Amino acid sequence: MAENVTIARPYADAAFDLARRAGTLASWSEVLDRLVAIMADANMQDCVSDPALSADQISGLLLGVAGELASDQSNFVRVLVDNERLKVLPEIRELFAVLKNEHEDVQDAQIASAFPLDDATLVSLKADLEARFKSRIETTVTIDPELIGGVRIAIGDEVIDASVRGKLASMAATLKNQELSNAT
């Protein structure tokens, strides 16, 4: 995986630079998402790995399925095909998203909740996170019944564990530490 990131980085940097200069960051982000989804299809993977198909044929197929792209986006796809880098599209997309978010001062928050969050709760939670981190927050919410109750939020390398499971684990650790210090 680390090797794929190393291979993908110059392509992500180039895509970001093109998108930033043209003011098309959102369009590029959407196109990269679309290309990753297309390449996830088993039939497309079979076509791309077919040695009987030329790079031009693979590019044509991929561009035909991807729909309307700007000329720089089409050229980017051709470069990926010519250099046999389609397999690192997920890493290119992820690296591009990081660069885009840094440029726009946006942070991703991964929120795990024991139960579905209603819209009002999510809006309030997002506002609190934006105030705490002093940047715009994009949220992704997943349901994790193992949390028992509450939420666990990961933003970058910081984790806020306000789940019942997390509090129980914290209490257990505290009790264990007290037992150890009482035993000595």
pTM above 0.85, yes or no: no
Which helix (H) or strand (E) segment is 41 a member of?
none
Write the pLDDT tens digit of every residue in 58-109: 999 999 999 999 999 999 999 999 999 999 999 999 999 989 988 998 988 9
Kindly give, in sequence order, each residue whose CB lies less than 8 Å from that of residue 92, ignoring residues fewer than 6 positions away.
8, 11, 12, 15, 32, 80, 85
CA torsion, ordered 100, 155, 132, 122, to nearest 10 deg: 90
Is the dihedral angle over the CA atoms 49, 53, 59, 60 positive or is it negative? negative
* Residue 73 dihedral angles phi and psi, to the nearest 5°: -70, -40
Q: What is the 3-state composition of the chain as percent helix, strand, coil, each rounded to the nearest 5?
A: 65, 15, 20
Q: Which domains occur in the chain, in start order? A: 2-102 (1.10.520.20), 107-183 (no CATH)
Q: Do residues 164 and 149 make contact, with C-beta atoms less than 8 angstroms apart?
A: yes
Write the pLDDT tens digit of every residue in 6-44: 999 999 999 999 999 999 999 999 999 999 999 999 999
Q: How far apart are CA 131 and CA 1, in angstroms?
A: 34
- The pLDDT-based confidence of 1 (bands split at 50, 70, 90) is low
